[in-house]
Amino acid sequence: MDDMARIVHTHDIDRYLSALFVPGEKRAHVMALYAFNAEVNRIAYNVSEPQLAEIRLQFWMDVVDSIFHGDVQAHPVAQALAGAVQAGDIPKYALMNLLKAHQFDFYSDPMPSLNDLEGYLGETQSSVIKMAAMIMDSDGALEASEACGLAGVRYGVAQVLNQLPRAQRLKQCFLPADLLAKRQVDPTHLFDPESEAGIGVVLADLRALAEERREQLRRVTWTISPKVAPAFLHVALADPYLQKARKRGRAVLVKGCDISPLRKQWLIYKAAKQVRF
C-alpha cells in the first residue's frame, strides 16, 4: 500500500474501498485526490483554534496555486495531487471551492439553512465525485454531472448524520438553523428534554432530503457509464447509514450511524456488480 492509499484507508475507508474498483492505471490518481480530500477534512480535527485551521487551509490553497503555476510544493500529497489534476484536467476553481467550503468546519455557527447545507455538500462531496470521474473518463464525467450532484448530497447527508458525535465534540453544528428554528430547537440545547420531539423531526427532515435525492439519482443512473461508476460506489453506503440513523433516532447525536467495515466491503462489491447506488 503506497502513502496515498494509506492515508485514504486510514481516514476515508468508504472511498478507499470504492477506489479499489478503479482500473490500475487510474487508481493512483484517484487515491491522490481522495488523500487530498481526507487531509482537508482533517483540518478541523487536528487543530484547536479557528485561526490555526485557517492557516492550515491557506497551506492547501497555496498547494493548489503551486500546482497550476507549475511549481509544485515538496509535499507528498501535493505532488500526487498534481498528477491527478493533470490526469483529469481538473480545474483550479473546483479545488479552491472545495477548500473555501471547508472554512465552515472551523466555527461553531449552525449551518444557516437546508439550502446552504446542500450547497456545502455540493462543493465538498459532489465535487469530489465529479473530479474522480474526470480522472476516470472526461466524457463520462460530463455525461454524469447531474448524477454527481445528487449522489454527493445523498451521501453527504448520511455522513452529516454519522459524524454528529464528532461535530458535537468540536462544537460544530451541521444541522440547518432554519429547520431547528421551525421546530423551536435551540442548537446549543440539543440534548434538553424539551428538544427531543423537535430534534427528532429535524433529523427526519434530513433523512427525507437524502431519500428524495436517492430517487432522483436512480432516475439518472443511466447516465453513469461503467468507466466512471467507481466514483459513485461509496454512495451505495448511504442507505444503510440512513436506516441505522432512523432506528437510533435522537441517539444518532451521540452514537452516529456507522456500519461495519465488512458490511461496507460487501455493499460496495455488490454496487460494483449491479451498477446501483
Whether the CB-CB separation of 230 and 133 falls below 8 Å is answered with no
Measured between alpha carbons, how far is 123 from 125 in angstroms, rounded to an integer?
6
The residue among 14 and 45 whose pLDDT is bigger is 14
Using the predicted structure, report yes or no on whether residue 238 has a pLDDT greater than 80: yes
Share of the chain above pLDDT 90, in %: 82
Residue 171's pLDDT band, with cuts at 50, 70 and 90, is confident
Residue 110 β-bridge partners:
173
Q: Provide the 8-state DSSP code for 110.
A: B
pLDDT at 111 over 80: yes
Number of other CB atoms surrounding residue 177 within 10 Å: 18
pLDDT at 221 exceeding the cut of 90:
yes
What is the domain-level CATH number for residue 254?
Answer: 1.10.600.10
- Say if residue 276's pLDDT is above 80: no
Higher pLDDT pick, 264 / 1? 264
Tell me if 233 sits within 8 A of 268, measured CB to CB. yes
Phi (first) and psi of residue 251, to 5 degrees: -65, -15
The whole-angstrom separation of Cα 11 and Cα 6 is 9
Structurally, how many domains does the chain consist of? 1
Mean pLDDT of the chain: 94
pLDDT band, very low/low/confident/very high, at 274 (cuts 50, 70, 90): confident
pTM of the model: 0.95
Residue 192, CA distances (Å) to 110, 160, 185, 196, 207 in order:
17, 21, 9, 7, 22
pLDDT at 74 exceeding the cut of 90: no
Instruction: Tell me the average pLDDT across 181-195.
Output: 82
In this structure, what DSSP letter does residue 173 have? B
Q: Above 90 in pLDDT, residue 144?
A: yes
Instruction: Retrieve residue 65's grid coordinates.
Output: 496555486
**Residue 192 clears pLDDT 80, i.e. is over it:** no
Q: Which residues, in sequence order, are CB contacts of 80 under 8 Å at separation 6+?
A: 3, 4, 28, 29, 31, 32, 35, 36
Provide the pLDDT confidence category of residue 27 given band limits of 50, 70 and 90: very high
pLDDT of residue 174: 93
pLDDT at 108: 87
Residue-number span of the structural domain to which 144 is assigned = 3-274
pLDDT value of residue 218: 94
Quickly state the pLDDT bin for 38 (edges 50, 70, 90): very high
